């Protein structure tokens, strides 16, 4: 089911280490998505707004994948951190406290990460349904607070026309997603992706997978399970905060929609659509979802939602690995061909 | 004094609706261990059946309620047999995903068939206006809701405690394996319980349509509220859900009156603290 193959119990540690190291090595096709993303910039200059949104969504989905896909933390409230990052940037910019974009991302990551750390310390004592409820309530708490503290957050209307300084003092942000922003977001996404890639292939990342697959055993071998989960949750929250901050900068506004159940459910759908617990699932899921919703929702708003629902039900019932899972199955069914084609 | 009575009565009426909708969810999640996020969807479908039956077919309120219950119970029995039953042993994530998908399907179907506008529910004249309670007058419909809620609570309690079916459900909630090995037909029990729970949700959807409103966004809008009631009340505990719904109904009603802005924050914070203190809910049994 999972992409990670566990070594047999009788293989030596050295072999296991070598397998892990080999998995960590970059595959020849891995630069492809990034080259495609760069190519998109030159080929479709009119769709850069759409592209920027797509890249931000990918980052948000990757952050959720770390918590949900790798560590198995069931959360329905991940938009809490997206919103925390977005509001951090928004409030700092609107009140003219801090308008530099890149350091703004760092501040947003720290704030969102701190929210994740604090809530994780408290919430991750529980599991299953209680955890699901608690993440929902935490998000609701933040949403209502943002709604209530209207002097700072703009309440229901949010904060708009945020002043954003040029990147490095030279690259001017063009209003409403355009060329600079696309490249800026792509660069941030690449950095975050490499960070997550390194993380999930590290021993720490493998211990997360171990906790997901068999928490009891990880306890038994003495792994500090709860602290691992809390740190993972905090890192994931910080990344979601970066995604939220990018969203606020790219749109030059922030409002309650960054914080609600809609956004949390959508990113979960995207992740599961592509295939969770695998690095490229978020990218595939985001492309599939965004392309479908962008083109179909305008033509058939209602039917598109119906189709999405049917798709979700079908994935939950028949294809638990998402699109990449289906691709894997087809590949393994096509025979035990040695040369594996990338999906 | 009158003001306090006002608060309590209004909150109790809202709490009764919460109870009627949530009690089925509590049993589904407690008995079957299924994270059924589509429960509010069944409440919405029930509400639509009831309102449309009244507005378009001219069926009176009470028979329309019965019709809503039957239609939704039948639909959900089919869903349970064909779809839900495949995911009983699946991870929670798959259940979450599946039921969110169902919510999308339900919302889109209602949009397609009925349209996006809020459906008005006209109460029968006998339930409109004010009722003299002796020490004060109060909205008749709120009093009706309280009475209906108490009757349903008593009926459910009797059914749970005094019938063979109820004993089987209790046995399955407490120890499913033992119940199975005693020869209780779990499959049939699940289908009946699920259908009944969804039927109750439909009833709540219809009874609450007058003040909760009825539009395609209903299932997601009130999802957190229903989940909070179940989490506070404890899984599979009918009396627990009853008390939890009443407490939350009264607290919510009071806060909305005095703190229209910050009321919900308080409910969320209260729920978080409570679940940290007692993960099994205020009235649930420790597992």
Walk me through the domains of chain A, giving residue ranges and CATH numbers: 29-337 (1.10.3470)
If one counts every other C-beta atom within 10 angstroms of the C-beta of residue B136, the result is: 13
Q: Place A85 in a pLDDT band, splitting at 50, 70 and 90.
A: very high
**Record: contact B101-A125, CB cut-off 8 A:** no
**Residues A68/A239, Cβ–Cβ less than 8 Å:** no
**Could you say which of B95, B261, B264 has the minimum Cβ distance to residue A140?**
B264
Closest by Cα among B267, B275, B234, B230 to B250: B267
What pLDDT shows up at residue A120? Answer: 93
- Please give the Cα distance from B97 to B94 (Å, whole number): 5
Q: Residue B2, class by beta-carbon neighbours within 10 Å (0-12 exposed, 13-18 middle, 19+ buried)?
A: exposed
**Record: contact A312-B104, CB cut-off 8 A:** yes
Closest by Cα among A253, A266, A280, A257 to A312: A266
* Gap from B77 CA to chain A (nearest CA, Å): 17
Assess whether pLDDT exceeds 60 at residue A52: yes
What pLDDT shows up at residue B38? Answer: 94
**Residues B101/B41, Cβ–Cβ less than 8 Å:** no
**Record: contact B265-A144, CB cut-off 8 A:** yes
Closest by Cα among B85, B91, B88, B95 to B38: B95
**Record: contact A130-B231, CB cut-off 8 A:** yes
Token representation of residue B256: 């909305």
Closest by Cα among A109, A115, A113, A105 to A142: A115
SS3 content of chain A, % helix, strand, coil (to 5): 75, 0, 25
Assess whether pLDDT exceeds 80 at residue A306: yes
**Record: contact A317-B224, CB cut-off 8 A:** no
B103 touches chain A (CB under 8 A): yes
B103: which chain A residues are within 8 Å (Cβ-Cβ)? 309
- Please give the Cα distance from B277 to A125 (Å, whole number): 11
**Could you say which of B111, B224, B235 has the minimum Cβ distance to residue A136?**
B224
SS3 content of chain B, % helix, strand, coil (to 5): 75, 0, 20
Looking at this predicted complex, what is its ipTM?
0.84
**Residues A123/A133, Cβ–Cβ less than 8 Å:** no
B92: which chain A residues are within 8 Å (Cβ-Cβ)? 74, 128-129, 132
- Please give the Cα distance from B30 to B194 (Å, whole number): 11
What pLDDT shows up at residue B54? Answer: 93
Assess whether pLDDT exceeds 80 at residue B89: yes
* Gap from A298 CA to chain B (nearest CA, Å): 15
- Please give the Cα distance from A283 to A37 (Å, whole number): 11
Token representation of residue A50: 């759409």
- Please give the Cα distance from A101 to A105 (Å, whole number): 6
Out of B51-60, B67-76, B109-118, B262-271, least confident range: B262-271
If one counts every other C-beta atom within 10 angstroms of the C-beta of residue B123, the result is: 15
Compare all CA atoms of chain A with the CA of B109 and give the residue at the minimum distance.
Answer: A306
If one counts every other C-beta atom within 10 angstroms of the C-beta of residue B229, the result is: 28
CA B89 to chain CA mean position, Å? 24
Assess whether pLDDT exceeds 60 at residue A6: no
- Please give the Cα distance from A231 to B196 (Å, whole number): 43
Q: pLDDT of A264-275, one tens digit each?
A: 999 998 998 898
Closest by Cα among A189, A208, A196 to A24: A196
- Please give the Cα distance from B256 to B253 (Å, whole number): 5
What pLDDT shows up at residue A248? Answer: 92
Q: pLDDT of A121-132, one tens digit each?
A: 989 988 878 888
Q: pLDDT of A151-191, one tens digit each?
A: 888 888 888 877 777 766 556 666 544 577 888 899 999 99
Percent of chain B with pLDDT over 90: 44
What pLDDT shows up at residue A208? Answer: 92
Assess whether pLDDT exceeds 60 at residue A321: yes
**Record: contact A310-B86, CB cut-off 8 A:** no
Assess whether pLDDT exceeds 70 at residue B176: yes
Percent of chain A with pLDDT over 90: 38
Token representation of residue A105: 């991302």
If residue B132 lies in a helix (H) or strand (E), which one and from where to where?
A: strand B130-132
B84: which chain A residues are within 8 Å (Cβ-Cβ)? none
Please give the average per-residue pLDDT across A201-215, as a whole number: 89
Higher pLDDT, A99 or B140: B140
Compare all CA atoms of chain B with the CA of A306 and give the residue at the minimum distance.
Answer: B105
Q: Place A1 in a pLDDT band, splitting at 50, 70 and 90.
A: very low
A126: which chain B residues are within 8 Å (Cβ-Cβ)? 275-276, 279
What pLDDT shows up at residue A336? Answer: 60
A214 touches chain B (CB under 8 A): no
**Record: contact B108-A303, CB cut-off 8 A:** yes
Question: What is the DSSP annotation of A184-252?
Answer: HHHHHHHHHHHHHHHHHHSHHHHHHHHHHH-HHHHHHTT--HHHHHHHHHHHHHHHHHHHHHHHHHHHT
What pLDDT shows up at residue A178? Answer: 59
* Gap from B250 CA to chain A (nearest CA, Å): 19
**Record: contact A309-B101, CB cut-off 8 A:** yes
- Please give the Cα distance from A335 to B196 (Å, whole number): 48
**Could you say which of A129, A265, A308 has the minimum Cβ distance to residue B35?**
A129
Please give the average per-residue pLDDT across A270-286, as a whole number: 91
A296: which chain B residues are within 8 Å (Cβ-Cβ)? none
């Amino acid at each position: 089911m999972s992409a990670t193959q566990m070594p047999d119990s009788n293989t030596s540690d050295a072999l296991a280490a070598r397998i892990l190291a080999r998995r960590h090595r970059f595959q020849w096709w891995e630069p492809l998505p990034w080259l495609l993303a760069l190519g998109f910039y030159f080929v479709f200059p009119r769709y850069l707004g759409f592209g920027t949104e797509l890249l931000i969504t990918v980052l948000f989905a990757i952050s959720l994948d770390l918590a949900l896909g790798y560590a198995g933390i069931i959360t329905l409230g991940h938009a809490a951190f997206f919103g925390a990052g977005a509001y951090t940037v928004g409030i700092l910019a609107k009140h003219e406290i801090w308008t530099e974009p890149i350091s703004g991302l760092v501040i947003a990551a720290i704030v969102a990460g701190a929210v994740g750390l604090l809530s994780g310390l408290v919430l991750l004592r529980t599991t299953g349904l209680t955890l699901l409820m608690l993440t929902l309530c935490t998000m609701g708490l933040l949403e209502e607070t943002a709604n209530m503290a209207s002097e700072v957050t703009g309440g229901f209307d949010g904060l708009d026309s945020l002043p954003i300084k040029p990147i490095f003092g030279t690259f001017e942000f063009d209003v409403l997603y355009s060329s600079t922003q696309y490249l800026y977001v792509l660069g941030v996404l690449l950095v975050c992706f490499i960070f997550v890639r390194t993380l999930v292939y590290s021993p720490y990342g493998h211990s997360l997978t171990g906790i997901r697959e068999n928490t009891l055993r990880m306890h038994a071998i003495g792994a500090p399970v709860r602290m691992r989960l809390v740190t993972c949750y905090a890192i994931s929250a910080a990344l979601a905060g970066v995604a939220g901050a990018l969203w606020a900068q790219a749109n030059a506004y922030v409002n309650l929609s960054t914080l609600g159940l809609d956004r949390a459910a959508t990113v979960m759908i995207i992740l599961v659509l592509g295939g969770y617990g695998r690095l490229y699932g978020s990218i595939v899921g985001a492309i599939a979802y965004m392309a479908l919703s962008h083109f179909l929702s305008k033509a058939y708003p209602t039917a598109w939602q119906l189709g999405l629902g049917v798709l979700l039900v079908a994935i939950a019932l028949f294809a638990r690995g998402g699109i990449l899972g289906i691709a894997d199955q087809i590949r393994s069914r096509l025979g035990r061909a040695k040369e594996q084609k990338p999906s | 004094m009158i003001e306090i009575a006002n608060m309590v009565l209004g909150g109790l009426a809202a709490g009764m609706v919460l109870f009627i909708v949530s009690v089925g969810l509590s049993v589904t999640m407690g008995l079957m261990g299924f994270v059924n996020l589509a429960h509010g969807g069944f409440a919405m479908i029930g509400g639509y059946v009831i309102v449309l039956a009244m507005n378009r077919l001219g069926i009176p309120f009470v028979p329309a309620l019965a019709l809503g219950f039957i239609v939704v119970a039948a639909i959900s029995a089919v869903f349970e047999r064909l779809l839900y039953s495949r995911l009983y042993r699946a991870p929670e994530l798959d259940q979450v995903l599946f039921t969110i998908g169902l919510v999308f399907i339900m919302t889109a179907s209602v949009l397609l068939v009925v349209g996006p506008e809020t459906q008005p529910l006209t109460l029968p004249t006998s339930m409109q206006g004010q009722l003299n309670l002796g020490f004060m007058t109060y909205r008749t419909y709120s009093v009706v809701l309280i009475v209906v809620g108490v009757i349903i609570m008593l009926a459910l309690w009797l059914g749970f405690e005094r019938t063979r079916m109820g004993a089987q459900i209790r046995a399955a909630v407490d120890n499913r394996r033992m119940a199975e090995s005693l020869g209780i037909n779990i499959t049939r029990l699940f289908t009946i319980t699920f259908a009944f729970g969804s039927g109750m949700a439909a009833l709540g959807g219809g009874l609450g349509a007058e003040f909760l409103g009825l539009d395609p966004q209903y299932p997601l809008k009130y999802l957190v509220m229903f989940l909070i009631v179940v989490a506070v009340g404890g899984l599979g505990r009918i009396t627990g859900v009853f008390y939890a719904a009443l407490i939350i109904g009264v607290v919510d009603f009071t806060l909305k009156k005095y703190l229209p802005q910050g009321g919900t924050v308080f409910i969320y914070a209260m729920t978080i603290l409570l679940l940290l203190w007692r993960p099994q809910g205020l009235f649930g049994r420790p597992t």
